[in-house]
Structure formats: structure tokens, C-alpha cells
Amino acid sequence: MPTTRPAPFRLSARSALLKASPIRELLKMIEQPGVLSLAGGLPPADAFPMVAVRDAARRLLSRPAGRAALQYGPSEGHRPLREWVAAHLRARGVPAQAEHVLITTGSQQALELVGKVLIDPGSIVLVESPTYLGALQAFAPCAPDFRALEADGQGPLPSSLVSQPQARLAYLVPSFQNPCGLSLGGARREELVQAASATGVPLLEDDPYGELWLDAPPPAPLAARWSEGTIHLGSFSKMLAPGLRVGWLLAPPAVFPKLLQAKQAADLHTPSLSQHLIAQLLLEDGFDLDGHLQGLRDRLRRSRDAMQAALLRHLGDLAHWRQPAGGMFFWLELAQPLDTLALLPQAMREGMAYVPGAAFYAAQPQPHTLRLSFATLAPQQIEEAVMKLGRVLRAAGMQTPAAREMLACPA
């Protein structure tokens, strides 16, 4: 038998820029029996519209026209679904036309397409600090020069954008940001749009959580204020179910054709079955999306309130946070400089898990931060998990302000 040897694969220089998602790798370890996970940004599975989706699939595939759901489709996406997205955005104040809506395989793919079309090696890309890890991962193969936008308690500062007019784009998550949960007020959104328009820096607005408001709807999107200079991303993952893998982007006419070409090269089109199934649900079956979203908000609000109460009980003297008005996440800054990545193994032994915060920074990571998701666990499980986290932090040497004062006093 001839001797075989490994194939001489030669990896590209670009492949060195591809990195595994720390969160995805983390989820492999912590999603196991006995661990109360506050880590994954997963919508609650008990809120999925199981019966409605099952019935929609049966109706879709029981008629001859349903064969189109199993066939190749247009790269732009299923036309009725694009029309629905455009109408949905117009209802939020965005001047959207279906011709400029591109259906993507989740909004994560939309990030990658934008990176391919707009970012060259060395291009300055402005990001929040912290920011969505998936965006950093999607843009990284394009070798950008990430620059953190300066911020105050209300969000990114317009002056920070104005000071960098050479930037290729500014990536923002204005509503209930992942990871920190902050939602920009209407005045700050307007100021950022004015600054971007004046300096000619395009905006990439990522809006997966805009419908998950828990106290009041967020202000109008950035794309409603500057449609000519904003690419707007959205997703059905949080509204319906992430397993469908259907998102969208709305782009100005000047850049839409190139984004479409990038989509064609990537995967021809988003799976027809998922697109037709959503269209069947929303356009043919009369699915009550507003009612579904209200039920989802009620579910998330109970969990948000449970986490706020648990944090006050068990971590009130150990960390700083603000209660989010929507989305899925609390962002914590520990009162003492402990490394939350180093503490994670002990937390898992204790029976809970979180996401260390350092991975969410493009530069100058803050190791004393962490993200907690309130979306998946029931309120009583949230209480137990936060109690365990408090126990881990105290065992690691964190002290209450009173205890620190006592230790500082001379005997």
C-alpha cells in the first residue's frame, strides 16, 4: 500500500484573521446539565410560536405553489417578504422600499457583506466600547483599524465621530445594545446623525433588539433620520426564532448593487424554505405578530425585573450596572478589579455561568466586566444563579464597602 501524507494545504494570510467566537466556544462548555447559564443571548424557547410555525409549514407545503419553497430563489430574497420588511420599516419611520431590501442569512451575514463591500485593510471602523462581538468577528478578516468612539452615560459622543472624518463607517447598535443594554435617546441619535452627515461617515445601524422594548418603544432608527447614509440591519431571530436564520439589510441605492453581488458570491440566496415559511406565517396566515411580540416582552420583562431584584440582593455592593429598558442583557462592572475570565471556572463549579466582558472590546479590554442574559432562565433560576455569582465574587476576595473600611482602619 502506498504511503500517504497530509495534503499540503497552504492557508491564506486572510485566514489568520479569522478567530473563533469566544462566546460560541464558551457555550459549548457551559450549556450542560447542572449549570444555570446567564451567558447565551438566546431568546426564550418557550416563547417560540411552535403551533403557528407548524401549521404554516403544513399549509405552505400542501399546495403546488409551495414547491417554490424548495427551489432556488432570487438573490435579493423572496419578493413578498421584502415587501413586508419594507412596510415594517416604514411603520417605524424609515423611508424603505422593497427594491433596497436584501434578505440575508441572519443579520450576522449582513455584517459580513458590509465588511466585504466597504472595508479595506487599514480602513478606520468606528465602534462602541464595548460593542457586539459578532461584528468584530465579521469585520476582522477585512483587517480594519478599529477605533473606539468616546462615550458618556448617554452613549457615543458625536464629537468623537466628527474628529475622525476619514473613517470608512461607524457601527452602532442604538437600541438595547449587546452587550451593555443601553438604548440611545432621540436627541443623541439626532446628534450622531448630524455629525455623521456633516463629516460624510456612513452609519451601519444594527437593530436586532428594537422590538424587544420592555418599558417604552425606542426612538426612531438612525435610518429614519439619514436614509441616504445609513445601512440598516434587522432580523427575525429575536422576533420569531433564530433557527430560521433570516435577517435583512436596507441599503441606499448607491451601495445596494455591490451588497447584492457580495450576497450572490456568498451563498446565492438565503434558504427559500425559511423565507417562504415566514411569508406564509405573516402574509397568508394572519399571524398576530404584535400579540406575539407583546407576549415575548411580558416574558422578558418578568425576567428582567427578577434579575434586577436578584442583583440588588446579592451584588448590590459588589458591582455597578444600569437596568436595561429592553433587549436581553445586563452589563456589570465589578467594584474591584477582578478578572472575570479567570473567575469563570469557579463560577461553573458553583453551577452558574456568564460571559466575561473583555471579549466585547476592540481595544483596551476591561477584564472586570461581565454580561448577564436574563432571556433564557425562569425568574427563580435567575435568583439562584445570581446568588451563586455573588458567592463566587465574595470567595474571590471581593468585599463590601464597609468591610474595606474596617480593613483600612489601624488596629
- pLDDT tens for each residue of 162-171: 999 999 999 9
pLDDT band at 4 (very low <50, low <70, confident <90, very high): confident
pLDDT at position 29 over 80: no
- With a cut of 80, say whether residue 372 has pLDDT above it: yes
Judge whether 411 lies within some domain. Answer: no
Q: What is the pLDDT of residue 32?
A: 72
Q: Which residues constitute the domain of residue 201?
A: 51-284
- Domain with 340 in it: what CATH number? 3.90.1150.10
Taking residues 359-364, report their average pLDDT: 95
Mean per-residue pLDDT over the chain, rounded:
93
Using 50, 70 and 90 to split pLDDT, how confident is the model at 3? Answer: low
Write down the pLDDT at residue 13. 82
Phi, psi of 289 (to 5 degrees): -65, -40
- Per-residue pLDDT reduced to its tens digit, 199-252: 999 999 999 999 999 999 999 999 999 999 999 999 999 999 999 999 999 999
DSSP-assigned letters across all residues of 233-300: EEESTTTT-GGG--EEEE--TTTHHHHHHHHHHHHSSS-HHHHHHHHIIIIIS---HHHHHHHHHHHH
* CA dist 175 → 83, 114, 181, 188 (Å): 24, 20, 8, 12
Give the mean pLDDT of 272-293. 97
276: domain CATH number? 3.40.640.10
Phi, psi dihedrals of residue 285, rounded to the nearest 5°: -90, -10
Q: Indicate if 373 and 279 belong to the same structural domain.
A: no
| 111 and 168 part of one domain | yes
Q: Is the pLDDT of residue 316 over 70?
A: yes
Whether residue 35 lies inside any domain: the answer is yes
Among candidate residues 234, 267, 284, the one where a domain is terminated: 284
Instruction: Determine the pLDDT at residue 403.
Output: 39
Q: Could you tell me the pLDDT band of residue 14, with boundaries at 50, 70 and 90?
A: confident
